[in-house]
Structure 1
Amino acid sequence: MTILVGYTRTPEGHAALTAATSEATLRGERLLVLNAGEQPGQADSSSLAHLESDLRAAGAEFELRQQSRGLSAADEVLATAQAESVQLIVIGLRRRSPVGKFLLGSNAQKILLDADCPVLAVKA
């Protein structure tokens, strides 16, 4: 079984990673860390190396992927979840005003509404 976490270099991404690592360890499942979508959330190679080091220290079985197929972060997470038949998706949330959600859209909202498996949304 696999737990998928949508990771970005933000407080929300770190909160999601922490929760996903705890869930994977608790359940004895593999963790798939996906750094995906458009450039702003993508980690550079030194950040990914540091992330790998932290995951090894946590003792979780994991795979780290960086996807950039031109899809939105939400679409990357959903496509990966379906392709890998994941049991749980973990995402981080930030506070947004109703107007901000209306004007900018929401990756979290799309994942919550369109995922075929349970989604754990973690506040940062």
Structure 2
Amino acid sequence: MAIIVGYVPTPEGMAALDSAIEEAQHRHQRLVVVNSSRGESLVDPRFATGAEWHSVDQRLADAGVDHELVQLVEGKDAAEQILALANDLNAELIVIGLRRRTPVGKLIMGSQAQTILLQAECPVLAVKGKA
């Protein structure tokens, strides 16, 4: 079993990572950090750079958390990738960060968080970024 956290280099992503570290320590579980892109990784601001990814790895090591970093560049949405990985690993928990979106923004762009919340087969912890 593992805890999955969807990570993007934003305040929401950092809040999700913080909460996931706490959960992994509390539950004594391995933490799998997922960062993904649909294929535009060179221009996608949600795709962690090498330095950002190294910083995440170092932070987890400093926290003493058993962890794995997974960066995916596939033609799938982040929600699809996180849900598939959660199923493959029989995840105990998924942690995601939330950002405020307008109803029109959700309609036009969809909501990765909403998809995960509605389709996950395990509990989902949704956290807000610091204001």
TM-score (norm 2): 0.91
Larger helix share, 1 or 2: 1
Give runs of aligned pairs for residues 28-47 of structure 1, distance below 5 A: 28-38=28-38, 39=41, 40=44, 41-47=46-52
Cα RMSD for the two superposed structures: 0.9
Structure 1 runs of 4+ off > 4 angstroms? Answer: none
Alpha-carbon distance in structure 1 between the residues aligned to 2:54 and 2:104: 37
TM-score (norm 1): 0.95
Instruction: Report deviation, 1:37.
Output: 2.7
Q: 70, 83, 88: which is aligned to 2:75? A: 70
CA contact under 8 A between 1:37 and 1:76: conserved in structure 2? no
SS in 2 for 1:26: helix
**Higher mean displacement: 107-116 or 42-51:** 42-51
Give runs of aligned pairs for residues 46-65 of structure 1, distance below 5 A: 46-65=51-70
Instruction: Report deviation, 1:26.
Output: 0.6
Unaligned runs of 5+ residues in structure 1 are none
Give runs of aligned pairs for residues 1-124 of structure 1, distance below 5 A: 1-38=1-38, 39=41, 40=44, 41-124=46-129
Identity %: 49
Q: Number of residues paired by the alignment? A: 124
